[in-house]
Structure 1
């Protein structure tokens, strides 16, 4: 059994994790986060995004983390791999996930920036 591959696009100030290339946001929500490791944060959000929407036919998740002066902007969502559009409620579900205090606490604990001693 082969494992599905995830594509990582890392460029200065932006980290993107996508199931398929090119990354595309047919549905998307955004949230602001404090400074953290973008790769670790994206991975944690991707896991919970997938758990939330795995029953959505043809959904291919994308998480993009962009650096700002004060922290990070996370865009989470994905693309439709089938000829269908998703209801607007999907964006609201993703937004609710990104704003959930328990998820944010867990994600940030995992992704906190490690500083040299």
Structure 2
């Protein structure tokens, strides 16, 4: 399924948002959103992807990918992507880890992904 050239793949409790299929993670960082199992995974993935793209938009050949998985009561977010060509892997992983650990961004993602009461009907 594509949404404006973005592919969304759902397998069980995992939603993956990627520019290209199959999603490739040449580099990645992981974060856990405690108590986030009830959040909307698609909205969370889009928000993470947008912030990651802003941080890495000068990386040539970068195709972002975000995987969001429910693990018990938590939400595990894996963000990274594929890169065509040579790139500074450790530097890119550090940038994505900083994006994922930023408390202001996390609060915005959670607010955006919180289910409204109408969604439960």
TM-score (normalizing by structure 1): 0.90
Aligned-pair CA distance for 1:86: 2.9
Residue by residue over 1:17-70, the C-alpha shift from the partner in whole angstroms, topping out at 9 and shown as x without a partner, is 000111011010000012311001001111111111111000100000011111
- Map residues 9-20 of structure 1 onto 2, 5 A cutoff: 9-20=9-20
For residues 10 and 79 of structure 2, the distance between their equivalents in structure 1, rounded to whole angstroms, comes to 16
Q: Provide structure 1 residue ranges, at least 5 long, that are not aligned to the other structure.
A: none
Aligned-pair RMSD on alpha carbons? 1.6
Q: Provide structure 2 residue ranges, at least 5 long, that are not aligned to the other structure.
A: none
- Map residues 1-117 of structure 1 onto 2, 5 A cutoff: 5-33=5-33, 34-35=36-37, 36-80=39-83, 82-115=84-117, 116=120
The number of equivalent residue pairs is: 114
Query: Following TM superposition, where does structure 1 have runs of at least 4 consecutive aligned residues deviating by more than 3 angstroms?
Result: none
TM-score (normalizing by structure 2): 0.88
For residues 52 and 17 of structure 2, the distance between their equivalents in structure 1, rounded to whole angstroms, comes to 12
